[in-house]
Structure formats: structure tokens, C-alpha cells
Amino acid sequence: MSDTITAIATPMGEGGISVIRISGAQSLAIASVLFRPSSGAKLKEFIPQRVYFGEILDTQSQTCVDEVLLTYFKAPKSYTAEDVVEISAHGGLFVATKILQLLQDQGARLAEPGEFTRRAFLNGRIDLSQAEAVTDVIHAASERALRSAVSQLKGSLSTQLNEWFERLLAVLAQLEASIDFSEEGLEFQKRETTLAEIQAIQKDLHALIQTYRQGKIFREGAQVALLGKPNVGKSSLLNALLKEDRAIVTPLPGTTRDTLEERLRIRDIHINIIDAAGLRENPEAIEKEGMQRARAALERADLALVIFDSSEALDANDDLLIREVLDKPHRIILNKCDLPQRLEVPTLQARFPNAEFISISAKNGTGLSGLCDAIYQFVMGDSSLNETLVITRERHRQCLVTANTALLNSCASLEQNLSEEFVAVDVTIAMDRLAVILGKTFEDDLLDQIFGEFCIGK
Ligand SMILES: Nc1nc2c(ncn2[C@@H]2O[C@H](COP(=O)(O)OP(=O)(O)OP(=O)(O)O)[C@@H](O)[C@H]2O)c(=O)[nH]1
Ligand SMILES: [Mg+2]
């Protein structure tokens, strides 16, 4: 049986209330040593899911530490599926820490980060993808991120994966029956039927993998890089979008040397916007390093905002830029629209035949709302995806990619008339990967990694 753990569940600081949480078989016994309900109720009279008002007593000095509310959740109807007690004290760091210490003195152990949720998982109340969704809910910084996290928490992903798992299990059972009775020349299910079923699952699974780009952007925010040759106004644009003087702006080319990353909110989404050194040919030594960082930012970016100075003619440095950004999703920004225009727009349009061109002035703010709309539309992508299931984690994507390959292999084996054993091996691999996402099978290392991301008390 696991021990009883405790932690402060609210942020470390001053606030309205602090919640101290206890979980494990001894929760109520430990709490009741310190708690004096004003109603005079006895421990065994405590009714689950009911809130009791009373005092926490320092047992040594017999003094009142604080007036608190205590809630008792009886196993399995609690967050961890164990007996849980939550004490809501006044929101001060000292008082919460004092109560935490008193609980430890009575034998509760300080919880590790994420240990409450880990217990909820180990006790089978939620699966691993739901446990991961708990941190996603906590870290959600936008409406869309929150919606997808809550849907995963409620089991939308689990339901889909479990359905595929069960269908593959049925396929596997048929295959194994055919293997066992192959001597007798019996075929339990037509190979075409098995093939059609695996293909149907593979198709849907592949579609789910495709949602990762969108899902990751929802969870982590899109990476948007500002790129252009020196002096086109990248840093000015960053400052204009942030509405603060964040980056240094000067009339000298080569002002920005390092990359600078800031968070920007556009309606209900957030993006990480990166200002970088200008790209140009024949850079000096320091510039070279800055340009390397700019290229790294481009590499990581989901979207490149490619900036040109519309008051100047195109030159070799613009050309260098154009070659480097063509492979990335991009939008073309023509800055300095407040100055006389000298840029050969048709020439540029020929280089970016399908791109959207947005004319702005970072200096006086013209066109910025249109630019924000374009970024927003890029992030939201194909709106048909918005309400359906998305995957948001690299761990899930990797498992699904392996499962997808295995299913394709099993289809190939069926089509080539190979024996059922070959097909079964690949179906098993696919099922195993689905099981890993759900945490039906797991290694402790993986749990340490997942729950290590949590805060203490969650
Ligand atoms: N008139 C006008 N000037 C601008 C505009 N945007 C930027 N500038 C000016 O252009 C010069 C360069 O601006 P920066 O924002 O430093 O350009 P940058 O692309 O970050 O330059 P590097 O960091 O050197 O690569 C500054 O003098 C800005 O004031 C604009 O929209 N209109
Ligand atoms: Mg700059």
C-alpha cells in the first residue's frame, strides 16, 4: 500500500486561500489529529464530499494555527482515487508551510511534483494521455489550447485510441485463429476483410498524425520569425506588435545581433515572435554568428514573416533571403509604406507567386491589424480541424507514426499473400504503440519524465 503524501496545492505566495492537500489511506487520521471541527464532529462521523469549518491546532503548543475549511473525499471518489483531505487555510506562505509541517510531523510525506496525478494514473482513474492533459490545462494560454486540453482530459483521445486498439485486437484474434488452424486449411476471415479493416484504421490514424502541426501550435503557441536583410525594420515591427520598446532600433544596418523572443497575444491565441539579425551576403565575424542564430530561428519557425524595405530597390541581400525562406510557410511584409516606394513589387511577386503580400509601416502602425489577421489565420489553419481531435505532443506523434508504419507493413504483407504470422507481428507493434500512449504499458522513466513537468501539489 502506498504511503500518505501531502503538499501545498496553491502557488507559493500570498493570496485569498492556500490549499494543502493530503492523499493516502491515512489522510483523514492524520488531518484529524490537527483539526478541531467547530461542530464537534468525530473522525468517523466525517461525511465524504462535505466541507467542515474548524481550527488547525499546533499539538505541541496547543495553540490555534488558523481557521480553515476541511474537505474529505473518500476513495475512490477523489482526484487520486485514494482518501483525500484538502485543507483551505488563509492564503499566506507561512501559515500554509506551518500546516504542511504539522502534517509531516504526523507522518505524511512531502509529495513529489505531479505525484497526486501520478497516483490518479496508477490507480486507474485516468490514463496517461489524460494525465498529460492535466498539465496542458494548467499551462493553456489561449481559448483554443484550453479547449483541446480539456477535451483530452475528458478522454476524447483515449476513446479514439481505445477504439482502434479493440478493433486491432479483434483483427489479431482472427489472424491467430487462422495461424492455429492453418494446417486444416481453414480460413477464419477473408484476407480482404482483414485488409479492409486495417486500412480503415490506418487511414484514420494517419489523419490524426496530420493534426500534430496544428495541435502543437495550439499547445505551445506558434513560432513566428521576423526575417529580412539588415535595416528593413524587423526590430521596429517587433516593438510595434508588442506595443513597447523591446528591441533596439537604429538607422544603422546590423543593429540586432542576437535573437530575441517574445510572447504576443492575438485574439484567443498566443504566438512566440522572434526578432533576429538581418541576413546579408559577406557578413563580418559577429554578424556571422547572429545570422546563424537567425537561420536557427527560421528552422524552428512555424511561420516566417519575410520583410522587405519597400522604400528601396531589391538587391543581392534580398535575393539571399528569398532563397532561404522559400521552403518555409511564409508571408511577405512590405515595410516602410509611409516612405516613397521604390521596391519592384512585380519582380518580388514573381519570386513568391502564391504568397500573401502585406504592406505595413512599423513606424506609424499602418497595416498592423491586417498583419495580425494573417498570422491568426495561419495559426488557426484549416478551420475544419478546429473542433475535431488533435494531438499536441511529440510523444504521441512518435507512437502514432510507428503504429502507422506497422499498419502499412501489415497491409503490404496481406497484399503479398505472406503468412498471417507476418501480419500479426505488425498489428501487435501498432497495438503496442497505442498502449504506450494510453499508459496501458509504461516504463517508470517515462512516468518520471511526464510527471516531472508538473508542479508540486498537482
Ligand atoms: N519611415 C520608416 N522607417 C522605418 C520603418 N520601420 C523601421 N524604420 C527605420 O528603419 C531603421 C532600421 O530599423 P530596425 O527596426 O532597426 O531594422 P532591423 O531590420 O531590425 O535592422 P537590423 O537589426 O540592423 O537588421 C530605423 O531607423 C527605423 O526607424 C517604417 O515603417 N517607416
Ligand atoms: Mg533589428
What is 76-109 written as a DSSP string?
Answer: TSSSSSS-EEEEEEES-HHHHHHHHHHHHHTTPE
Query: Averaged over 79-97, what is the pLDDT?
Result: 96
| CA triple 107-110-113, angle to 5 deg | 155
Q: How many other CB atoms are there within 10 angstroms of residue 409's CB atom?
A: 17
Q: Percentage of residues in the chain with pLDDT exceeding 90? A: 80
CA of 233 to the centre of ligand 2 (A): 7
**Separation of CA 372 and ligand 2 centre (Å):** 20
Is the distance from CB of 152 to CB of 136 less than 8 angstroms? yes
* Residue 274 confidence (pLDDT) above 80: yes
- Give the pLDDT confidence score for residue 453 in this predicted structure: 87
371 Cα: distance to centroid of ligand 2 (angstroms): 19
Mutate which of 227, 248, 249, 321 for ligand 1? The one with the most ligand atoms within 8 Å of its CB, which is 249
Q: Whose CA is nearest to atom 11 of ligand 1?
A: 251
Res. 182: pLDDT tops 80: no
Identify the pLDDT of residue 47: 94
Report the nearest atom of ligand 1 relative to the CA of 335: 31
Residue 199: pLDDT band (50, 70, 90) is very high
Give the pLDDT mean for 350-373. 95
- Closest approach atom of ligand 1 to CA 364: 31
pLDDT of residue 361: 98
241 near 376, Cβ under 8 Å? no
pLDDT class of 29 with cuts at 50, 70, 90: very high
Answer whether residue 39 shows pLDDT above 80. Answer: yes
DSSP label of 229: S
Distance 245 CA to ligand 2 centre (A): 12
- What gap in Å lies between CA 157 and CA 287, rounded to an integer? 46
Measured by CA distance, the residue closest to atom 10 of ligand 1 is: 233
pLDDT at 383: 54
Residue nearest to atom 6 of ligand 1 (CA): 233
Query: CA 321: distance to chain centroid?
Result: 32
- pLDDT (average), residues 146-165: 94
Atom of ligand 1 nearest to the CA of 248: 16
Q: Are 247 and 233 in contact (CB under 8 A)?
A: no
* pLDDT average, residue stretch 101-117: 97
Angle at 444 between CA 438 and CA 448, to 5 degrees: 90
133-211+391-439: which CATH topology? Four Helix Bundle (Hemerythrin (Met), subunit A) (1.20.120)
Q: What percent of the chain has pLDDT over 70?
A: 97
In the chain, where the domains are located: 5-127, 133-211+391-439, 218-384
Mark 323-355 as b/e (b = at least 16 C-beta within 10 Å).
ebbeeeebbbbbbbbeeeeebeeeebeeebeeb
Domain 218-384 falls in which CATH fold? Answer: Rossmann fold (3.40.50)
Binding pocket residue ranges, ligand 1, CB within 6 Å: 228, 230-236, 249-251, 253-256, 277-278, 335-336, 338-339, 361-363
Is a pLDDT exceeding 90 seen at residue 142? no
pLDDT at 345 over 70: yes
> What letter does residue 456 receive in the DSSP assignment?
B
Q: How far is the CA of 244 from the centre of ligand 2 (A)?
A: 14
Per residue in 413-454, pLDDT (tens digit) is 999 999 999 999 999 999 999 999 999 988 889 999 999 888
Residue nearest atom 13 of ligand 1, based on CA coordinates? 233
- What is the grid cell recorded at 428? 501487435
The closest residue, in CA terms, to atom 23 on ligand 1 is: 256
If you measure from the C-alpha of residue 354 to the centroid of ligand 1, how many angstroms do you get, rounded to a whole number?
27
Query: Is the Cα dihedral 58, 62, 66, 67 positive or negative?
Result: positive
For 327-336, what is the mean pLDDT? 96
**Cα maximum dimension of the chain:** 87
1 confidence band (pLDDT: 50, 70, 90):
low
Q: Give the whole-angstrom CA distance, residue 43 versus residue 28.
A: 7
CATH number for the domain formed by residue range(s) 5-127: 3.30.1360.120
